[in-house]
Amino acid sequence: MALNNGGPSPWGNPRPGGPWGSPPPTPPGGGSRGPGPDLDDLIRQAQDAVRRIIPSGGGAAGGKGLAILALIVVALWAASGFYRVQPDEEGVVLRFGAFDRTAAPGLNYHIPWPVETVETPRVTTENLVFIGFRSGDPASVRGPVGRDVVEESLMLTGDENIIDIDFVVRWRIRDAGDFLFNTRNPENTIKSAAESMMREVIGRTPIQPALTEARGQIEDQVRAGTQAIMDQYKAGVAITQVQLQKVDPPAAVIEAFRDVQRAAADRERQRNEAEAYRNDIIPRARGEAERMIQEAQGFRDSQEARAKGEAARFTSVLGAYSAAPDVTRRRLYIETMEEVLRRNPKVIVDDRLQGLVPFLNLGDQARAPRPAAPAAATPPPFVNSRPQGAAR
């Protein structure tokens, strides 16, 4: 079979007639002719190489050459069974296409093809599955933002609201044999199981907790549920983490939803202010009421004690009066006049004078020590009064 339709290379002299010109003349005896090697030439070259390896001669020499060639072929075939498993890989040996055993990292050996073959999946690499969006960098969550997949991200919450959720599932191979043979497409299986589990968990959760404090709980429930599904399938994978990337209302209603959230925040703020005012005024009112109660009880106790004291005093005076009426009557008169005069200003009335003459205060000021008067001072005039003068 000609490789360039005859003639020199396209970079040399043009071929006669060009590629669309008249075909080259057919050699005698028929068949095609061209300068490139065809299949027959390749077969003849291989035969010549074999003849050079095997010396031509008698039967003994030819048999010895064939034996050497066979030994070389067998040695090369046997040496092809050595293989290396990297530290982040696990070797899976297949015998006639069926799982036979696993191999640890390092240099290992298996029966060469076609008896046994080896698969070496990476078991320590953490793989990512994006659900609800597609990242610009499939190997990293922090890569360029890709497109949003609405049919995967829109879900119905427990209180019949629609929510837009993007999340990432991180997984690695736990059992290489199960991973290779029990599922046809493990990544799609993980994606379907995680999306189904997320819809189930969101379907039991109201929208407000899903947007705020329940994110960690949702991640844990989805991871555990997805792991249970994969264990049931015997997929040989371990779900290491479910990470929520975006939890928002749908883009068409997000502004209205934010208005509702702001109104709810204002309501909560006003409620907290009312609670703070109540917590301030109620203890104060309770304290004031308790103070008034304590004062009333103190006044009651004092009045009761005073009444009991007055009653006891009256009883004692009555006993003394019964024993000595004259003396007791005089003492009561004197004590009463002393009390009356102590609380009122003193006035002395003289029949020889017309009107009232105020007298010095004989109360606390009279008992107080007086400064010494100068020697030349004139003593105050003395007002005479009768012993029987009336005082009032």
Phi, psi dihedral angles at 101 (to 5 degrees): -165, 170
Task: Answer whether residue 85 shows pLDDT above 70.
Answer: yes
Note the pLDDT of residue 134.
Answer: 84
The better pLDDT of the pair 374, 156 is held by 156
Whether the predicted pLDDT of 89 surpasses 60: yes
What tens digit of pLDDT does each residue of 210-263 get? 888 889 999 999 999 999 999 999 999 999 999 999 888 887 787 887 888 788
63 versus 294: the higher-pLDDT residue is 294
Q: Say yes or no to pLDDT of 9 above 50.
A: no
Spatial separation of the C-alpha atoms in residues 110 and 78, rounded to whole Å? 9
The whole-number pLDDT of residue 217 equals 93
SS3 per residue for the chain: CCCCCCCCCCCCCCCCCCCCCCCCCCCCCCCCCCCCCCHHHHHHHHHHHHHHHCCCCCHHHHHHHHHHHHHHHHHHHHHCCEEEECCCECEEEEECCEEEEEECCEEEECCCCCCEEEECCECCCCEEEEECECCCCCCCCCCCCCCECHHHHEEECCCCCEEEEEEEEEEEECCHHHHHHCCCCHHHHHHHHHHHHHHHHHHCCCHHHHHCCCHHHHHHHHHHHHHHHHHHHCCCEEEEEEEEEEEECCHHHHHHHHHHHHHHHHHHHHHHHHHHHHHHHHHHHHHHHHHHHHHHHHHHHHHHHHHHHHHHHHHHHHHHHHHCHHHHHHHHHHHHHHHHHHCCCCEECCCCCCCCEECCCCCHHHHCCCCCCCCCCCCCCCCCCCCCCCCC
More confident residue, 70 or 126: 126
Residues with Cβ < 8 Å from 160, sequence gap 6 or more? none
Give the residue with greater pLDDT, 310 vs 257.
310
Cβ atoms of residues 349 and 357 within 8 Å: yes
Range with the poorest average pLDDT among 87-96, 294-303, 305-314? 87-96
Q: Categorize the per-residue pLDDT at 368 as very low, low, confident or very high, splitting at 50, 70 and 90.
A: low
What confidence tier does 382 reach under pLDDT thresholds 50, 70, 90? very low
Instruction: Quote the mean pLDDT of the chain.
Output: 76
Say whether pTM exceeds 0.75. no
Residue 272 has a pLDDT of: 93
Mean pLDDT is lowest, of 17-21, 142-146, 246-250, for 17-21
More confident residue, 339 or 392: 339
Closest residue by Cα to residue 191 from 124, 127, 247 = 127
Tokens of 3: 């490789």
Listed range (58-72, 116-130, 278-292) with the worst mean pLDDT? 58-72
Q: How far apart are CA 185 and CA 188, in angstroms?
A: 6
Q: Closest Cα partner for 241 from 251, 231, 227? A: 227
Mean pLDDT of 172-188: 88
Q: How confident is the model at residue 4 (pLDDT cuts 50, 70, 90)?
A: very low
Split at pLDDT 50, 70, 90, the class of 276 is very high
Confidence of residue 355 (pLDDT cuts 50, 70, 90): low
Mean pLDDT of 82-88: 79
- In whole angstroms, give the CA distance from residue 321 to residue 328: 5
Across the range 116-134, mean pLDDT stands at: 86
In the chain, % of residues over pLDDT 90: 28
- Whether 337 shows a pLDDT value over 90: the answer reads no
Between 368 and 236, the more confident residue is 236
Mean pLDDT across 320-334: 85
